[in-house]
Structure 1
């Protein structure tokens, strides 16, 4: 049986919200220095689990510090905000909790609240002075984070109380529109297009546009919207000379590839400049067997070569992708030397990959 004041028992009682039992336990021992996991105090635990009565008891009876920080510099307000416990958030704010306190990586309670559909909590924090324009270490503000969650009501609210929030970019030049598009948040994209004046092909530092983000993550509905309402260019190139079709091949988005080629007329053999890698090369490099099949069914040239005279077989062998090598050989791709005289087979180190060539001796 745990001794009176055992920290493990105290934390369990707080987690379970057993206020009467907690009172009895603390009468005998008090809450003196008993940090829990990650340096949490009992207040962190009460706030995380939404026990406002326990929170109030610990603050008002035992004078526990509402600004106590754990090892990640989280305060109880961070915990309550991230879990959407509005009564705990309001209690802490009414007791004078610092509304824009920072945890590790410079996250505020408002940012934490924006990771969920917590509109009422977000409103409480803003009404107590939380600043939506503050950025974390990656350059994201609360609108970026809300765009990832995708709740249109939260976005509408943030843009109403702080219109300047939409002008922000992360440290790598990504806008909230990039974030919403990447995560397939169609309603969020609609709000951002309606309320913010983003350029049609606003690109981050890597040259990636929101349309590319949507396509490479398979969000075709978002891609359509960006084309129709934002006049996005499906043929735009990133900083490495790749187009959306190359990015879709890298991530194995088969339906997106069909959309680009069959509906938009993208060139299935488009070359990324200056490498001259075709979508088939990218898919083979990643070992996406189904994607290679889709590209071939869309008319991709199985014999296409990059600037180093490498075929898709070279990249599949270099990645030791057995199934992909087997598919390419069975589809009629013969081995050939690249610009340095290296055959694809010479890049194979796996016994399984080498056996593919044994089964297709004509290659």
Structure 2
């Protein structure tokens, strides 16, 4: 088998020139050789390439004249329908369904063509699949449905359409108990969140398996206007703790979302010095542990206490030292030098291991 000739055939298929594909096959005698040939590490066939690139005329030629199976799959169990759906090629999707492709075929991790289509926000393809009886309630190995994926991508038209054709599709949780509301809040899809709050019956402060609410997802990713929407339209709690007792004010310190910190403390009057359940870490402890220098300064502007200790007697300076965050330690020392001279400071020095952070203490 002429591998170079086959590679050229792949290139011609991707380029979409049907006449060149036919001529090359005939000249090199590749009609039979190419029918079930899988290429490269992915194991794609020519029909995968044609479907992925949207060349419906080549797709028809390969299926009708070359005789390639419409359900041929690659090494990830992707069918041509997955490829066409994921790239938003409606004509290819329609043709493959017409030729008997299974509308809910599964690729690796149990993704359906409808799920793939929802990653592209292509309403025409999504409509085509659903009109051919695609099941919007199917879930992949992580427990995500097509509706979860649509809410993550954030196209309001797609979300509304899915709710119209399957009104109960929102009643779905992933294997970690995350709802579509969690997903859209985390990704900042404010229009979608507004639709979900208006049309679906989500319980305020639904928690995933880690105890995280949609409000927490919004603020810890910096989506403040979306967090306001959840407060106003869904009565979300600004202090709902996760299973470790970590509250939103702590979460935003971990992720360094300073606008969200100001929102929680100044607008919602959340106590900046409250400790999380367990070790009683404050927001300042968390920011120092992560090495967020700018966040440390913002917290101090908001009234954070440098000298608050956790249950083990550690200050934020200890957290910066444990994390080997030299600039964070330097900032804390500059703002509270007395800590460097007492027992707490000695303990923090002992936690410093890397040369750059040891130098910080040596300069005091």
TM-score by length of 2: 0.95
Distance apart, 1:29 and its partner CA:
2.0
- CA deviations 1:216-248 (Å, max 9, x no partner) are 000001100000001101011111101111110
Distance apart, 1:34 and its partner CA:
3.0
Question: Which range moved further: 51-60 or 31-40?
Answer: 31-40
CA distance in structure 2 between the aligned counterparts of 1:129 and 1:5, rounded to whole angstroms: 42
1:329 corresponds to which residue?
A: 333
1:89 corresponds to which residue?
A: 93
3-state secondary structure, aligned to 2:170: helix
- CA deviations 1:4-32 (Å, max 9, x no partner) are 87221111111110111110111122214
1:249 corresponds to which residue?
A: 253
Which of 181, 186, 193 is the matching residue for 2:190?
186
CA distance in structure 1 between the aligned counterparts of 2:186 and 2:170, rounded to whole angstroms: 17
Specify whether residues 243 and 4 from structure 1 end up closer, same or farther in structure 2 by C-alpha distance, changes over 3 A only. Answer: closer
Which of 57, 70, 79 is the matching residue for 2:83?
79
Distance apart, 1:279 and its partner CA:
0.3
CA distance in structure 2 between the aligned counterparts of 1:342 and 1:68, rounded to whole angstroms: 67
Specify whether residues 22 and 4 from structure 1 end up closer, same or farther in structure 2 by C-alpha distance, changes over 3 A only. Answer: farther
Distance apart, 1:337 and its partner CA:
4.5
Q: Is the 8 A contact 1:78 1:112 kept in 2?
A: yes
Distance apart, 1:345 and its partner CA:
1.3
Report 1:210-229 matches (<5 A): 210-229=214-233
2:30 corresponds to which residue?
A: 29
2:205 corresponds to which residue?
A: 201
Which of 354, 357, 362 is the matching residue for 2:361?
357
Distance apart, 1:157 and its partner CA:
0.8
Please tell me whether residue 70 in structure 1 is matched to residue 74 in structure 2.
yes
3-state secondary structure, aligned to 2:309: coil
TM-score by length of 1: 0.96
CA distance in structure 2 between the aligned counterparts of 1:144 and 1:317, rounded to whole angstroms: 41
Please tell me whether residue 16 in structure 1 is matched to residue 15 in structure 2.
yes
Please tell me whether residue 167 in structure 1 is matched to residue 171 in structure 2.
yes
Unpaired stretches in structure 1, ≥5 consecutive residues: none
CA distance in structure 2 between the aligned counterparts of 1:11 and 1:219, rounded to whole angstroms: 45
Distance apart, 1:344 and its partner CA:
1.2
Which of 132, 154, 159 is the matching residue for 2:136?
132
Distance apart, 1:315 and its partner CA:
1.1
Please tell me whether residue 7 in structure 1 is matched to residue 3 in structure 2.
no
Specify whether residues 337 and 162 from structure 1 end up closer, same or farther in structure 2 by C-alpha distance, changes over 3 A only. Answer: farther
CA distance in structure 1 between the aligned counterparts of 2:258 and 2:312, rounded to whole angstroms: 27
Which of 310, 313, 316 is the matching residue for 1:309?
313
Specify whether residues 182 and 143 from structure 1 end up closer, same or farther in structure 2 by C-alpha distance, changes over 3 A only. Answer: same
3-state secondary structure, aligned to 1:301: coil
CA distance in structure 2 between the aligned counterparts of 1:4 and 1:183, rounded to whole angstroms: 45
Q: Is the 8 A contact 2:293 2:328 kept in 1?
A: yes
Distance apart, 1:322 and its partner CA:
1.1
Q: Is the 8 A contact 1:252 1:288 kept in 2?
A: yes
Distance apart, 1:342 and its partner CA:
7.3
Q: Is the 8 A contact 1:50 1:85 kept in 2?
A: yes
Distance apart, 1:161 and its partner CA:
1.0
Q: Is the 8 A contact 1:177 1:210 kept in 2?
A: yes
3-state secondary structure, aligned to 1:167: coil
Q: Is the 8 A contact 2:35 2:66 kept in 1?
A: no
Distance apart, 1:297 and its partner CA:
1.0
Distance apart, 1:285 and its partner CA:
0.6
CA distance in structure 2 between the aligned counterparts of 1:353 and 1:6, rounded to whole angstroms: 60
1:59 corresponds to which residue?
A: 63
Q: Is the 8 A contact 1:174 1:204 kept in 2?
A: yes
